[in-house]
């Protein structure tokens, strides 16, 4: 029997520290790609590029080092009975598609109906960031954000709408600039109550195709 590949062994979203390549290996891989593209990684303009790319990857994919549920666990119960919708809209994010590693640039809108607990609004933005800074598809990212908020806060409902432009569509393939993809995930009251869902969509500006 052939030994399993790294992808077969690694079924979680992140590699263990023992399975993660060393920085020198990552830089060598960039050198290989530069040579494959037809250039010389030893020339002056490219000699430091492998190290720069690896540092950029650390920034692009720092979400793998973050636990979104841990971010949400510090909640507050002293709300004087506040039980209306909490919405944070127009949260900017930058991600990368898992199919071509091309940028995904967009914004997210997040809302929830508190049961007993609320969370600091910066934590909602940090949860979006934690999932965005990974290799993603927009549909999965939308669902992940909603699930994390629902699992930790246990609210009466969660709504997430994501609007984004995908560079894998604008800079390659069909080359269609100016196209925005909209995805949504509605849970609890936002899914079951059309009036609640409409209120949320009105607050965020009612992006086309959201609310299903």
Which residues are part of the catalytic machinery?
97-100, 138, 166, 168
Under a CB-based contact definition with an 8 Å cutoff, are residues 141 and 97 in contact?
Answer: no
Q: Residue 12: which region, alpha, beta or left (left: phi > 0; alpha: psi -120 to 50)?
A: beta
Q: Residue 84: which region, alpha, beta or left (left: phi > 0; alpha: psi -120 to 50)?
A: beta
Residue 65: DSSP 8-state:
G
Question: What Å distances lie between residue 109 and 73, 126, 200, CA to CA?
Answer: 20, 13, 9
* Residue whose entry in the numeric block shows the structure tokens 């030994």: 3
* Residue whose entry in the numeric block shows the structure tokens 């690694």: 10
Under a CB-based contact definition with an 8 Å cutoff, are residues 125 and 88 in contact?
Answer: yes
Q: How far apart are CA 68 and CA 181, in angstroms?
A: 24
**Residues with Cβ < 8 Å from 17, sequence gap 6 or more?**
none
């Amino acid at each position: 029997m052939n030994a399993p590949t790294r992808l077969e062994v690694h079924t979680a979203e992140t590699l263990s520290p023992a399975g993660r390549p060393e920085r020198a290996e990552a830089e060598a891989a960039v050198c290989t790609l530069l040579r494959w593209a037809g250039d010389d990684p030893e020339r002056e303009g490219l000699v430091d590029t492998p190290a720069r790319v690896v540092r950029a990857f650390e920034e692009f994919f720092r979400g793998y080092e973050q636990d979104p549920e841990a971010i949400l666990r510090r909640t507050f119960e002293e709300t004087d009975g506040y039980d209306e919708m909490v919405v944070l809209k127009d949260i900017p994010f930058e991600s990368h598609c898992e199919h071509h590693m091309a940028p995904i640039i967009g914004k997210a809108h997040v809302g929830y109906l508190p049961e007993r607990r609320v969370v600091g609004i910066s934590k909602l933005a940090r949860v979006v960031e934690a999932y965005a800074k990974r290799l993603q598809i927009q549909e999965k990212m939308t669902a992940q954000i909603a699930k994390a908020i629902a699992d930790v806060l246990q609210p009466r409902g969660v709504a997430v709408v994501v609007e984004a432009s995908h560079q894998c569509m604008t800079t390659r393939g069909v080359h269609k600039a100016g196209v925005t993809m909209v995805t949504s995930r509605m849970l609890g009251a936002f899914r079951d109550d059309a009036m609640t869902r409409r209120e949320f969509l009105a607050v965020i500006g009612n992006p086309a195709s959201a609310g299903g």
